[in-house]
């Protein structure tokens, strides 16, 4: 180590593509795979931190390599927040929003994982908090072509296992979507049921017409109601909807969450450490939402978000994909939750974020690892 200070020696990114057995169609958006960027941050001490994000087919690895890694190499391991802002300020045009903020966010999470491990602490304790049981949401109905009957059966099995919250994605047609939501509500009459529009609809009129068709189902929310970029449009949906509106997880950048909060556009602010600014920015985002009286809900990445939400003193539902359905396959072989009456028990309180990489699962995917980050795992 450089004197008594442990420093970062390398930041490497692996791109991992998981091919979906059944393609997913969300309007013009067609997903034939789920692609992840796995970031590894190494220290002189031999410790290493990890994190991963969805690439959404963007050049995450290239941005990390070209404009983020050079800022982190040589930086003190114990100063992840300081290095985050140094990297942000080196390239406002790229790092402040979109895929650049996504790339910086995932590096930030890996850097905090490394810092907590260097301190010999779980991330919750390192941030001054502790783990606690949290509400758990099962993302059901994948692939979205799954029939209403199959989706209902999936919910019935999960209900017996202790789950009480279920989120359903939009189907290829709105008619199929209504059928599936009705089946889920029948299978879980007292459960929380949310609906993810996945930004397939483009106008407030379209969303509100659909909302009227499902209003009787008492949905917990309609999510990602229109494409991002127009907070006033989201606000118009909220104004006309009797169902709560949730939005924000894929919109990390310079004006998240201010645009949505200032426009009074959401009942629930969706947050995602992998796109909204990593660990470094999450506390401030949660504080802004709380100050406005707006509920928050993290997007996927349960092994990261369950630890962060608890550590920062919040109770918010944590989303889990049903293993093997293609929702979020990089999670499937990691620790799975124990759920009791709707709440997940805390995950293992290991140093940092615990185990975020399963080399065996990665080896079965289509992998691009030009820097050899996986060779010694």
pLDDT at 180: 98
Encode pLDDT of 322-375 as tens digits: 999 999 999 999 999 999 999 999 999 999 999 999 999 999 999 999 999 998
16 by Cβ neighbours in 10 Å (0-12 / 13-18 / 19+) ranks as buried
Q: Strands across the sheet with 8-26, in order?
A: 48-54, 29-43, 8-26, 366-368
Name the maximum alpha-carbon separation found in the chain. 66
Strands 134-139 and 343-344: antiparallel
Which structural domains are found in the chain, ordered by start? 8-121+356-368 (3.30.390.10), 125-344 (3.20.20.120)
Placement of tokens 């905090």 in the chain? 112
Q: What is the DSSP string of 304-355?
A: HHHHHHHHTT----EEEEPTTSSSSGGGTTS----EETTEEPPPP--SBT--
pLDDT at 222: 98
DSSP lists the bridge partners of residue 37 as 15, 53
pLDDT at 2: 55
**Average pLDDT of adjacent 10-residue blocks, the chain of 377 residues:** 85 97 83 95 98 97 98 98 97 94 97 98 98 98 96 98 98 96 98 96 97 98 94 97 94 83 97 97 96 97 98 97 95 98 97 97 97 92
- Do residues 18 and 330 make contact, with C-beta atoms less than 8 angstroms apart? yes
- Look up the pTM and report it: 0.97
- Do residues 243 and 96 make contact, with C-beta atoms less than 8 angstroms apart? no
CA–CA gap between residue 228 and residue 226 (Å, rounded): 6
């Amino acid at each position: 180590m450089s004197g008594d200070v442990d420093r970062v020696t390398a930041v490497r990114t692996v791109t991992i593509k998981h091919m979906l057995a059944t393609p997913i169609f969300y309007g013009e958006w067609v997903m034939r795979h789920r692609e992840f960027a796995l970031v590894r941050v190494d220290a002189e001490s031999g410790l290493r931190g990890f994190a991963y994000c969805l690439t959404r087919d963007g050049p995450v690895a290239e941005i990390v390599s070209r404009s983020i890694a050079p800022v982190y190499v040589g930086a003190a391991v114990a100063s992840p927040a300081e290095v985050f802002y140094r990297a942000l300020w080196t390239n406002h045009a790229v790092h402040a929003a979109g895929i650049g903020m996504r790339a910086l966010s995932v590096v930030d999470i890996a850097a905090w994982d490394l810092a907590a491990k260097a301190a010999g602490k779980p991330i919750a304790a390192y941030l001054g908090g502790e783990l606690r049981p949290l509400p758990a949401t099962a993302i059901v109905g994948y692939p979205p072509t799954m029939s209403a009957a199959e989706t209902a059966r999936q919910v019935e099995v999960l209900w017996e296992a202790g789950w009480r919250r279920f989120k359903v994605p939009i189907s290829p047609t709105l008619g199929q979507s209504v059928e599936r939501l009705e089946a889920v509500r029948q299978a879980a009459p007292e459960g929380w049921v949310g609906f993810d529009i996945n930004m397939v609809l483009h106008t407030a009129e379209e969303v509100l017409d659909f909302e009227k068709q499902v209003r009787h189902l008492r949905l917990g929310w309609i999510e990602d109601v229109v494409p991002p970029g127009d907070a006033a449009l989201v606000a118009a949906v909220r104004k006309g909807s009797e169902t709560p509106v949730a939005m924000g997880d894929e919109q990390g950048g310079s004006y998240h969450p201010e645009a949505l909060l200032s426009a009074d556009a959401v009942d629930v602010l969706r947050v995602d450490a992998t796109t909204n600014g990593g660990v470094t920015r999450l506390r401030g985002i949660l504080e802004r939402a709380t100050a406005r009286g707006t509920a928050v809900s993290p997007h996927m990445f349960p092994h990261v978000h369950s630890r962060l939400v608890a550590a920062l003193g919040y109770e918010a539902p944590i989303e889990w994909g049903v293993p093997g359905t293609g929702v979020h396959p990089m999670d499937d072989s990691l620790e799975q939750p124990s759920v009791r009456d709707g709440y997940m028990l805390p995950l293992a309180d290991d140093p940092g974020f615990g185990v975020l990489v399963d080399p065996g699962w990665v080896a079965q995917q289509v992998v691009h690892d030009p820097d050899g980050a996986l060779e010694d795992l």
